[in-house]
């Protein structure tokens, strides 16, 4: 049922995390079954949350909310490990990864 939203929305493109790949592909299959052009599926790697282990998630409480006060965002981001900071830089920056030793 999760892939049916692609049919209901008649989606052309759908973006999701790599954990949603199966649902997105099922959406394509269902669109074909309903006579629709199958959508283009784009997946992005998951960003680890502030705990550095699980994906960033509100339900896990390891996230930075877009509506958080700037001071709170700063504090949360300063709490992540140096190692995880490279992953954040890679996924959240529009700049190429710097060639610095890790």
**Nearest alpha carbon to residue 31 among 55, 59, 3:** 3
Alpha carbons 72 and 83: distance in angstroms, whole number = 21
CA geometry: angle at 94 spanning 51 and 96, to 5°?
95
The model's pTM is 0.70
Backbone angles phi and psi of 15, in degrees to 5: -110, 135
Structure tokens at 63: 């996230």
Alpha carbons 83 and 99: distance in angstroms, whole number = 15
Report pLDDT for 24. 95
If DSSP codes are grouped into helix, strand and coil, which group holds residue 68?
A: coil
Name the maximum alpha-carbon separation found in the chain: 52
Q: What is the pLDDT along the chain (102 residues), one digit of tens a residue?
A: 888 999 999 999 999 999 999 999 999 999 999 999 999 999 999 999 999 999 999 999 999 999 999 999 999 999 999 989 988 888 888 877 666 555
**Nearest alpha carbon to residue 50 among 76, 20, 28:** 76
């Amino acid at each position: 049922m999760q892939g049916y939203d692609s049919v209901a929305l008649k989606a052309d493109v759908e973006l999701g995390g790599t954990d949603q790949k199966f649902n997105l592909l099922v959406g394509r299959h269902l669109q074909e079954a309903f006579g629709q052009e199958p959508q283009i599926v784009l997946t992005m790697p998951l960003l680890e949350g502030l705990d550095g282990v699980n994906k960033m998630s509100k339900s896990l409480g390891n996230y930075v909310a877009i509506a958080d006060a700037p001071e709170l965002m700063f504090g949360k981001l300063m709490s992540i490990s140096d190692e995880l900071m490279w992953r954040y830089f890679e996924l959240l920056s529009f700049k190429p990864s710097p060639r610095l030793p890790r």
